[in-house]
Amino acid sequence: MDNQEIKPESILSKLESIKYSRILLVAFIALLCSVLVHFGLQSNQRAAAIQSSKVRLGNFDVVPPNLKYGFLLDSFQIDEKTILANEFISDILTRYKVNYLDIEHMVTTYKDVFDVRLLRAGKPYTVLSADTSQTADYFIYEPSVYSYIVFDFKNKTVQKVERPIETRIEKASGIIETSLWNTMVDNGLSFELTAKMEDALAWSVDFHYIQKGDRFKLIYERNYIDGKPVGVGEIKGAYYKNYDNEYYAFLFENDRHSGFYDYEARPMKKAFLKSPVQYSRVSSGYNLRRFHPILKRRKPHYGTDYAAPRGTPIRAVADGVIVKKGYTKGNGNYVKIKHDKVYQTQYLHMNGFAKGMGNGVHVKQGQTIGYVGSTGLATGPHVCFRFWKNGRQVNHLRENLPPPEPMPSEDIPKFNEIRDVLKVELDSIEFKKMDRVVEDQTTQDSTLTSNP
């Protein structure tokens, strides 16, 4: 290859070309950066503007969506009614253009989810329709505050929905003026809570002999749905003062047993209940010289009469076996129960017997065996309760009845922990009398949860 001479002019030309290209490249890069920065600033400005608009929107009232039963109700036509007497589900649904075949299919297929025979007059229902000229979309029935039933006509399904329950720990107290029931009502407390307190203390406090000035305190669960109270759960701790006697009851539960115990870890539940009827009064006691109101002569009264409204449940006061269910002119309808080799009880003047009662039937303490009435020689609805010890009728209110089984020793340390927390809480509760605090005590904040 022949050597070629490189001229200086050619070299200078090439250098100038390279220099010019670099200048163009730098200029392009600078321009590109400028563009990117410009658009970046604009982007940030737009983001800031959007954020600013969100803040400004937050200054306006926004109407929340109307949600119920898991549906956005604003998108439906809503029809809310109650079940009428003698109204069947087919009567209702055909009014909303649901055909009989679909009704039959859903009723039959989902009978285990909801039996339509359980529809009750007076219960509410809601029908949701996106287009009232067409078949309704949903039928929603509310058998209770705790759940509702959804008939979905789009998918031809039926579903039971349990409402979420919020459990709160609450406190109550009162001073007896006339009766326990009146005091509870005066303090805004429910009959349900009253019954549960009686159950907790029934083996220690005879609520038929309460006095004016008696005092009580309670720590208990209250259930809420959508922020509204719907019922009472368990009582966690109870206190009752009668004369100079003070009674505590603490709920203790583990995998072996559950029940109320006193401060010394002794079971509150005794072998026998104090009485066979709740929410009653003693109308006539055990009296060997009582003047009989019907026979008009003195005749020993070997029982204790508990007056209560007709139909009030009568409870077995202890576990046992029914040895006699029958009727006599004097006793009316009655049941006699054998509890062991020593004790028997009898319940007279029943209006009727509970289902399943009969000779040889085993019954549990607190189980309903019949209902208050006035059959036989009775002037009004009551139960005459009779108590046998070794074949002889005695006054059960004077008997020193056998104690229950004690708490196992290995459970006592855990019980003491729970008891001590509950007692501090109970002692901190102020007594209230007709919505007025009558003892100046400082109520401490509750440290309890629903699972102490």
Does 390 fall in a domain? yes
Q: Are residues 258 and 223 in the same domain?
A: yes
User: For position 153, what pLDDT does the model report?
Assistant: 93
| pTM to 2 decimal places | 0.58
Q: Report the CATH number that the domain containing residue 197 is assigned in CATH.
A: 3.10.450.350
Give the residue among 140, 191, 180 at the shortest CA–CA distance from 161: 140
**End residue of a domain, out of 136, 162, 188:** 162
User: For position 48, what pLDDT does the model report?
Assistant: 41
User: For position 442, what pLDDT does the model report?
Assistant: 34
Does 242 fall in a domain? yes
SS3 of residue 224 by DSSP: strand
List Cα–Cα distances, 137 to 75, 89, 169, 380, in angstroms. 11, 15, 40, 55
Q: Which domain holds residue 378?
A: 281-398
Give the residue among 428, 426, 437 at the shortest CA–CA distance from 174: 437
Does 4 fall in a domain? no
CA-CA distance, 161 to 138, in Å (whole number)?
14
Does 429 fall in a domain? yes
Q: 181, 138 in Cβ contact below 8 A?
A: no
Q: Are residues 236 and 311 in the same domain?
A: no
**End residue of a domain, out of 349, 380, 398:** 398
**End residue of a domain, out of 118, 142, 162:** 162
User: For position 284, what pLDDT does the model report?
Assistant: 62
User: pLDDT per position in the chain (452 positions), as tens?
Assistant: 444 444 444 444 544 554 555 555 555 555 555 544 444 434 444 444 334 434 444 455 666 677 888 888 888 999 999 999 999 999 999 999 999 999 999 999 999 999 999 999 999 999 999 988 899 999 999 999 999 999 999 999 999 999 999 999 999 999 988 888 888 888 888 888 988 898 888 778 877 678 889 999 999 999 999 889 999 999 999 999 987 889 999 999 887 777 899 999 988 877 788 789 876 566 565 555 555 455 455 556 678 888 889 999 999 998 999 999 999 988 999 999 999 888 999 999 999 999 999 999 999 988 999 999 999 988 889 999 999 999 988 887 777 777 777 788 899 999 999 999 999 999 999 986 544 444 433 333 333 433 33
Q: Are residues 296 and 364 in the same domain?
A: yes
How many structural domains does the chain have?
3
Q: Are residues 134 and 88 in the same domain?
A: yes
Does 19 fall in a domain? no
Torsion of CA 286, 292, 294, 297, to 10 degrees: 160
Q: Are residues 99 and 113 in the same domain?
A: yes
Does 63 fall in a domain? no
Question: Following DSSP, what letter does each residue of 89-137 receive, concatenated?
Answer: HHHHHHTTT--HHHHHHHHHHTTTT--GGG--TT-EEEEEES-TTS--S
Q: Are residues 390 and 429 in the same domain?
A: no
User: For position 8, what pLDDT does the model report?
Assistant: 44
Q: Are residues 300 and 394 in the same domain?
A: yes
Does 447 fall in a domain? no
User: For position 438, what pLDDT does the model report?
Assistant: 46
Give the residue among 102, 111, 98 at the shortest CA–CA distance from 149: 111
Q: Using the structure block, give the residue that is written with the tokens 């920065």.
A: 37
